[in-house]
Every structure is written in C-alpha cells, then in structure tokens.
Amino acid sequence: MTPITNLTDLINQRLPAELAGFMKSAGNMAANGGEKLYLVGGLVRDLLLGEANLDVDLVVEGDAVTLARRLSTGNITIHHRFNTAKLQWRKWTVDLTSARSEIYPRPGALPSVKPGKLADDLFRRDFTINAMAVALVPQSYGQLIDLYGGLYDLERRFVRILHPISFTDDASRIWRAVRYEQRLDFQIELETLRLLQRDIPMLDNISGDRVRYELECICNEQLPEKAFKRAGELGVLAKLHPSLSGNGWLADMFDQARRISLSGQKLADLYLALLAYRLPDIDREQLVSCLRLPRALARILRDAGSIRARLGELANTKLRPSQIYHLLHGYSSEAVTANLLAGDLPPARRNIQLYLEELRSVKPVLAGHDLIDMGVTPGPGIGEALKLILDARLDGTVKTRRDEERLVGEWLATN
C-alpha cells in the first residue's frame, strides 16, 4: 500500500466543508504574512484513523497571537507566556500556537520554552502518533509531515514516546500513554513500556492539578474502566493511592453508571466517586488533597463516604419515605447515585432508588408566605410547619392543597 502523503482528500471528506474552508484560508493568510501554518496533533491522527474529531490545533512558524487576531471572527483568549491563542471562528474554536521548543529544567517541572521550528514543536509532543502535522500553506497544502514515524506506529497500532527521557521529563505522559492505548485499542510499544515502568516513580514529581487533569481526561473517555484496569496492572493506579483498584468490580460499576446516569449529573464525577468509593475516610482525604480536587468534586467523594457509613440505617425496610428522605436529603446527587450502584446492602439500595426516582422531587404545595397568610408566625415555626407538610406528602398522608391546609390548621391549634 502506498503510504498516505497528502491529506487534502481526507480533510475534504471527513471535516465539515466550513472547517476545511477555514483551514485553507488560514493557510493563505499565514502565507501572505510570510509564515508557515500547520494542522497538528489529535486531528491529524484521527483523520488518518478515520475517527471523529473536530478539535483544530494549529501551529505557526511565526507569531501566533498576530495571526489569531487576523483569523478570529469572535472571542480570542491569549496566553502571552506560551504565545498561544484560542480563537473563535464562526461556531468553531481553534487553538493556535507558535512553534516552540521546550526544555525541562528538572523532572515534572513546567518546561522553559523558546520559539522554534515545526520539527522542535513536534518533538516536544507526547507520542509519535500525536506528532504528525499537515501543511496548510497553499504551495504544500495537505502534505503530511511525519518526522518521527507516526504513520508507521499508527499502522502498527503502537503508542511510542519520541525519546528515552520523555516520561522522565513529564510523567503525566504515563497516564496519557495508558489512555491512548486503551481508547484506540493500541499497544504501548515494548521499549516505551520498559521506560514507562522505569519512570513510574517520576509520577511523584507531577503536581496534583496535572494528575487530576489526566484523570478527568480518562473519565471523559467512552470506557474509562479500560484505562483504570491497565493503570492498575502497570502499578500506575497504585501511585495515585495504594488501595485503589481498577478491577472487574469497577468496570461493572462504570457500566451500570452509564446505563442509569441521571439528568444533571456529570458522569465523569460519578466515575471518580466510584473509583474512590471503597477507600476508608483517611485514604479518601489523602486522595482529595493530593489531587487538589475542586470543592464540589471533593464534596461528592466525601458525601459518598458519609452515605456509605449510613447504609445500615438505610437498609431498614420499615423506614417511612420521609425518614429515607431525611437520611439522604442534602447530599450531592452523584454521591447518592454512587451508593445506589456500589452500596453493598440491597435493602438500602432499594430505599436509595426510591429516593432518587420519587422522593427527592416531592414538594409541598404551600409555601412560606401561604403559611404566614394562614397565621403562622414568621420565624422557626415556618420551617417546622413546612417540614410537617413535606413529611406528610412524602408519607402519602396528604395529597391535595386542602389536605395541607387542614394539617397546618391542626398544627396551629396545638402550637
């Protein structure tokens, strides 16, 4: 088979015509300014693989900020430190960076960067399959630039780093290798695997924010359990926390999570809550702090643990609906769902299901101002009366507005 050397047809066939048109005119505009422009990264890889991807990453041998200003039809965000811009072109978001080379002052540190050529920019990337480019200037439009054997690895389905100290420089690439391998059904190439295992201790040098980012990327994959399983086998997951496991139980939980995921819940957050579900409190807290989880996500993990600690109470089959409600009300819904899936007491899970499907949306008809109109004194009494009618609604002893009014009337008579 003749190797593909020009991607013009693939661009025209696989990308929306509007986006293909943008790339052509962006290439013209760069050329008019005497600069060279390239499409790089994941989109090149996915065009060659036939996978859907509309994330346009462009690299210019020149000044990205000036070119971005000329190209943009909307908002533009500039990072002067790295000379990169995120620009809006019609409904599309495009990343544009100046070609640069990177040097890592020490393992895991942010690299120091200086302007470079395309070859430098591709060399700083994680894997050969992500280090291909397509020329966009008119004289060579569509031409594939494959300096590091990306096409060879794509055909053989290998994830391969570009140089032996790649994982030492940036151990977050270890997580990335696992993610791409599992997403694409590739294999981490043998020497890359050896170096990955050698450099696992380097994961300690990576900041919590960067590890969290890589975990979020995994949780946004279609089947994150595959990457967690592989990370478990390689000893990468244990670096996150020794008690974490990516076993069949987790795969089963994730599968169920996809089936039941409720509206308004972020599946990625639910996955993380399930990953951490079986950790004792102290270990969960360690994970929360080492990943510097944002407050809302930390709350989901903690809530999941608190509910887990109350599963014994929730397993009581004689609980009234209002009691179930008050045991679960106030916890984040992802945490409740995590317990529905992972809780090990079936009667508790049935009560949790009742809460999620029915009880949590029950509301009394009467509001605080109705109660004041009926003669309830503003203050704590309002909360008390509202709870009374809510509980009665939950337990099915009141059904209509009139029932609620009657109940408040009785309460007023005795208070």
Nearest-approach distance from CB 176 to ligand ATP, in angstroms: 6
Q: Looking at beta carbons only, is 146 or 170 nearer to ligand ATP?
A: 170
Classify strands 92-98 and 56-61 as parallel, antiparallel or unpaired: parallel
Q: Looking at beta carbons only, is 78 or 184 nearer to ligand ATP?
A: 184
Select the residue whose beta carbon is closest to ligand ATP and give its number.
42
Q: Looking at beta carbons only, is 200 or 362 nearer to ligand ATP?
A: 200
Asked whether the beta carbons of 112 and 103 are under 8 A apart, the reply is yes
Asked whether the beta carbons of 371 and 347 are under 8 A apart, the reply is no
Nearest-approach distance from CB 244 to ligand ATP, in angstroms: 22
Q: Looking at beta carbons only, is 57 or 63 nearer to ligand ATP?
A: 57
Closest alpha carbon to 142 in 67, 64, 37, 59: 37
Judged by the rule CB under 6 A, the positions of this chain that interact with ligand ATP are 41-42, 53, 55, 57, 125-126, 130, 170, 172-173
What is the rounded distance in angstroms from the CA atom of residue 261 to the CA atom of residue 255? 10
What is the rounded distance in angstroms from the CA atom of residue 54 to the CA atom of residue 335? 33
Nearest-approach distance from CB 146 to ligand ATP, in angstroms: 14
Asked whether the beta carbons of 168 and 202 are under 8 A apart, the reply is yes
Angle between helices 248-260 and 333-342 (to 10 degrees): 130
Q: Looking at beta carbons only, is 41 or 116 nearer to ligand ATP?
A: 41
Closest alpha carbon to 38 in 14, 60, 65: 60
Nearest-approach distance from CB 173 to ligand ATP, in angstroms: 5
Nearest-approach distance from CB 172 to ligand ATP, in angstroms: 5
DSSP state, residue 162: S
Q: Looking at beta carbons only, is 55 or 204 nearer to ligand ATP?
A: 55
Nearest-approach distance from CB 290 to ligand ATP, in angstroms: 19
Would you call 343 helix, strand, or coil by DSSP? coil
Q: Looking at beta carbons only, is 144 or 352 nearer to ligand ATP?
A: 144
Q: How far is CA 345 from CA 64, 147, 190, 243, in A?
A: 57, 57, 44, 22
Nearest-approach distance from CB 374 to ligand ATP, in angstroms: 59
Angle at 126 between CA 203 and CA 131, to 5 degrees: 180
